């Protein structure tokens, strides 16, 4: 099983990409691999306002 982190570069905070809880509240999505196993795509969110267009983002 592999985990891939996608996070904004040059963000205001340091994102935790070692498997711990990141303060940005990343979204985790399962990603099927070619060999049949399931990998994880961890999508981090920027904290400088770039992605704060959704009303639910403040919760
Ligand atoms: Zn993060």
Is the separation of the CB atoms in 31 and 38 below 8 Å?
yes
Distance 31 CA to ligand 1 centre (A): 19
Query: How far is ligand 1, taken at its centre, from the CA of residue 41, in Å?
Result: 12
Per-residue pLDDT, 25: 92
32 alpha carbon to ligand 1 midpoint, in Å? Answer: 22
Query: pTM higher than 0.75, yes or no?
Result: no
Q: What is the pLDDT, as a whole number, of residue 28? A: 93
Task: Output the CA 20–ligand 1 centroid distance in Å.
Answer: 10
**Percentage, residues of the chain above pLDDT 90:** 39
pLDDT by position in tens, the chain (length 59): 688 999 888 888 889 988 778 999 999 999 998 999 999 999 998 876 655 555 554 45
4's CB contacts (< 8 A; 6+ apart) are 31, 39, 40, 41, 42
């Amino acid at each position: 099983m592999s985990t891939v982190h996608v996070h904004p570069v040059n963000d205001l905070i340091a994102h935790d990409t070692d498997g711990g809880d990141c303060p940005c509240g990343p979204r985790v999505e399962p990603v099927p691999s070619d060999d049949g196993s399931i990998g994880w795509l961890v999508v981090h969110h920027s904290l400088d306002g770039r992605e704060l267009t959704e009303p639910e983002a403040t919760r």
